[in-house]
Structure 1
Amino acid sequence: MSQSVDRIGRIECFPVLPRWLFVRVETDQGAIGWGEATLEGHGEAVIGAFEAVRDRLIGHDPDRIEDAWQLLHRLGFYRGGPVLLSAIAGVDQALWDIKARKLGVPVHQLLGGRVRDRLPVYAWIGGDRPADVAAAAAARQAQGFAAVKMNGTEDLDWLDSSARVDALVERLGQVRATGIDVGVDFHGRVHRPMARTILRAIEPLTPLFAEEIVLSDNVDVAAQLAGFTAVPLAWGERLYSRWDYRAFFERGAVDIVQPDLSHAGGISECRRIAAMAETYDVAFAPHCPIGPLALAACLHVGAATPNFAIQEVSMGIHYNAPSQDLTTLVRNPEMFAIEGGTMAVPSLPGLGVEIDEAAVRDMAKTPHRWRNPAWRGPNGDLREW
Structure 2
Amino acid sequence: MASGSPVLAGIDLAVVGVSAKTTWLFLRARTQDGAEGFGEATLYGEEGAVAAEIGKARELLLQRPLPLPGGALQALAMAQASSSRRAVTHALEQALVDLFARRAGLSVAHHLGGPYRDRLAAYANINRGISDRSPAGFAARARSVVEALGYDGVKIAPFDGLNWEADLAQRQRALAAGVERILAVRDAIGRDRRLMVDCHWRLSRLDAIEVLRLTRNANLFWLEDALDDRAFSAEDFRSVRSAANGIGVRIAGGERAETVADIRDIAAVGGMDVVLPDLRFTGVRNGMVMLQFAVSAGMEASIHNPAGPVLDAISVQVAAALPSFTILEGQVGESELFDEIAGGRPALVDGHRPVPDEPGIGLVPRLAFDAAVPKAGSVVATFVGAAGTGADA
Pairing partner for 1:292 from 302, 305, 309: 309
Pairing partner for 1:214 from 215, 221, 227: 227
The aligned counterpart of 2:257 is 239
Pairing partner for 1:273 from 290, 295, 299: 290
The aligned counterpart of 1:315 is 332
> 1:290-322 CA deviation, whole Å, 9 max, x = no partner?
1111000100011111221111111213xx3xx
Distance 2:279 2:286 in 1: 8
Pairing partner for 1:186 from 162, 183, 199: 199
The aligned counterpart of 2:357 is 347
Asked if 1:301 is matched to 2:307, the reply is: no
The aligned counterpart of 2:39 is 35
Q: Counterparts of 1:222-261 in structure 2 under 5 Å? A: 222-230=237-245, 231-261=249-279
Asked if 1:46 is matched to 2:58, the reply is: no
Q: Which moved further from structure 2: 345-354 or 204-213?
A: 204-213
1:193 deviates by 4.5
TM-score (norm 2): 0.83
1:167 deviates by 3.7
Q: Which moved further from structure 2: 197-206 or 343-352?
A: 197-206
Amino acid at match of 2:90: A
> 1:222-254 CA deviation, whole Å, 9 max, x = no partner?
344224431311112333333333311221122
Q: Is the 8 A contact 2:109 2:318 kept in 1?
A: yes
1:64 deviates by 3.3
TM-score (norm 1): 0.85
Q: Counterparts of 1:60-79 in structure 2 under 5 Å? A: 64-73=68-77, 76-79=78-81
Distance 1:57 1:186 in 2: 40
Q: Which moved further from structure 2: 207-216 or 225-234?
A: 225-234
Q: Which moved further from structure 2: 137-146 or 216-225?
A: 216-225
Count of residues in Structure 1 that have an aligned counterpart in Structure 2:
363
The aligned counterpart of 1:137 is 142
Q: Which moved further from structure 2: 120-129 or 346-355?
A: 120-129
Q: Counterparts of 1:92-103 in structure 2 under 5 Å? A: 92-103=93-104
Amino acid at match of 1:371: F
Q: Secondary structure at the match of 2:156?
A: strand
1:117 deviates by 1.8
Distance 1:130 1:268 in 2: 41
The aligned counterpart of 1:13 is 13
Distance 2:37 2:156 in 1: 34
1:288 deviates by 1.5
Distance 2:232 2:115 in 1: 33
The aligned counterpart of 1:147 is 153
Q: Which moved further from structure 2: 63-72 or 41-50?
A: 63-72
The aligned counterpart of 1:379 is none
Q: Is the 8 A contact 1:89 1:261 kept in 2?
A: yes
- Structure 1 gap ranges (5+): 376-383
Distance 1:345 1:287 in 2: 17
Q: Is the 8 A contact 2:48 2:380 kept in 1?
A: no
**Percent identical residues:** 29
Amino acid at match of 1:16: V
Distance 1:337 1:206 in 2: 27
Amino acid at match of 1:175: V
- Structure 2 gap ranges (5+): none
Distance 1:247 1:333 in 2: 39
